[in-house]
Chains A and B, each alone.
Chain A
Amino acid sequence: MTELNLAANSENKDAVVSLLFQLADDDFLYSFKGSEWLGLAPHIEEDVASSSISQDSMGHAAMYYQLLEELGLGSADSLAHLRPAKERKNSILVERPNGEGYYMEVPKYDWAYAVVRNYFYTAAKKIKIESLKNSSYQPLAEVAVKVNIELYYHLLHWKTWFVQLLSSTDEAKQRMQAAIAQVMKDFGDVFSLGTDGKKIVELGLIEEERTLVQRWQEQMKAVFESLNLEIPEIPAVPEANGRNFEHTKDLETAIATLSEVYRIDTAASW
């Protein structure tokens, strides 16, 4: 593999930065949404498990922000906390709230939605990570190997919930079906690489969107067939494409909440 030269070519660097922001912002928002479930999961063992997954995923986001810091984009902490919604590249799927209500008051979060979102997102992340293991950007390929190992347990966990709930009561099945429809509506930008996609693929940073989507569909097919379910369609045109800074109001709310403490004193040492 030829070494990717970032110093000599600013276009190459822009492409690496763009992809790293997509990966970092995705896992950051995903783990934030997961952490809002703390104390609210269906039972105590699930609370331990899903908060452990959130912690791992926050660690993954931190690694990507760290790689951005090393490329001179600013400190990892400030990249995570201080960038406004219009500079974020996460998929809109991970910015959606967990359900109705505010977690400090009366959260009426939807566990079916959590299971489906987390399972579909993790399966997509696994596909991307497998491709990133062969990334032409060596620091990213090395991080991908680490992330992949931890992801093994995450995927197993969410798949178990998904299969169990869809093999359960009629009410559970109905709720899960509704959640699948809701999640798929927002799945249009999950594999998108945004306007920088062409360059990202050309440089061999990750494989192209179409290839990744196909792999995801193949993987989900086996699970859906075992449950006698139709394989859900990924919308051809996303409602909004987070990779191109298109977001919903939900992202602003999420950022305001998650960065509240950090903003009080950005120089504080933790």
Chain B
Amino acid sequence: MQMATDSLEKKVLGVLEEVHDPEINTVSIIDLGMVEEVNVQDYVVNIKILPTFLGCPALELIKENIKKAVISIDEVKEVNVEFINHPPWTSDRISEKGRMGLKAFGIAPPPRLMDSDGSWHVDCPFCGSTYVTMDNIFGPTACRSILYCKSCKNPFEAMKPISTLM
């Protein structure tokens, strides 16, 4: 039974790799570090998800997509998805694969380290140049900022750094 549970958990994690951010189809919710817990008991799957931003309108959509993906596994009888606030989601939860996926979409991954004065810098996701300017710390979605690359003359977006040190 334990082995069956373990392998089902693996299957669940496998399908969650295919649940993407509704607006960024190159990164999954696993890559983004949003999946805090997957619990399988008697073919009932309970999943705990960390919201990135509290006002993010994509959350309900993500929840539905998770349910659809997991219930498609034959053995699964029931799926419950819960949003939890603890621990808080922070941008350092994004995996290396997630960072590559963001770049592939034209979004610079969040800076890993902030300087002691709170400043941070990102490179252009297209040409890698550091010669970029910030147009707007706020962007088209809560989690992104708008920047401009002076080298390749492309506007681009960057994931905001989000840390509990703020």
A interface with B by C-beta (< 8 Å): 45, 48-49, 52-53, 55-60, 62-63, 139, 142-143, 145-150, 152-153, 156-157
Contact = CB atoms under 8 A, between A and B. Distances in A.
A56 to B, nearest CB: 5
Contacts of B142: 52, 55-56, 59, 150
B24 interface: no
Given A49-B137, A49-B138, A157-B137, A148 B54 contact: no
Contact of A56 (B55, B90, B135): B55
Nearest to A51: B138
Nearest to B60: A270
Contacts of B146: 45, 48
Interface string B103-125: 00000000000000000000000
A153 B54 contact: no
Contacts of A147: 54
Report the 3 A-B pairs with minimum CB-CB distance, sorted nearest first: A59-B55, A59-B54, A49-B138
Contacts of B162: 149
Given A48-B146, A56-B53, A62-B55, 5 more contacts: A55-B142, A146-B88, A150-B54, A157-B137, A157-B138
A57 B55 contact: yes
Interface in B118-166: 135-140, 142, 146, 160, 162-164, 166
Given A48-B140, A57-B55, A149 B85 contact: no
B56 interface: yes
Nearest to B90: A149
23 contacts: A45-B135, A48-B136, A48-B146, A49-B136, A52-B138, A52-B142, A53-B138, A56-B53, A56-B54, A57-B55, A59-B53, A60-B55, A62-B54, A63-B54, A63-B85, A142-B86, A142-B88, A143-B54, A145-B164, A149-B90, A150-B54, A153-B137, A153-B160
Nearest to B89: A146
B165 to A, nearest CB: 9
A58 B142 CA distance: 12
Contacts of B160: 153
Secondary structure dominating the interface of A: helix
B85 A146 contact: yes
Nearest to B59: A59
Secondary structure dominating the interface of B: loop
B136 A45 contact: yes
B166 A149 contact: yes
B138 A142 contact: no
A145 B137 CA distance: 21
B137 A156 contact: yes
Contacts of A149: 88, 90, 162-164, 166
Contacts of B136: 45, 48-49
Nearest to A147: B54
Nearest to A60: B54
A48 B53 CA distance: 16
Interface in B52-70: 53-57
A63 B89 CA distance: 15
A148 B53 CA distance: 11
B58 to A, nearest CB: 12
Contacts of B89: 146
A146 B138 CA distance: 18
Contacts of B166: 148-149, 152
Contacts of B85: 63, 139, 142-143, 145-146
A58 B137 contact: no
A57 B140 CA distance: 16
Contacts of A58: 55
A104 B56 CA distance: 27
Nearest to A151: B166
Most-contacted residue by chain A among B55, B146, B160, B166 (CB, 10 A) = B55
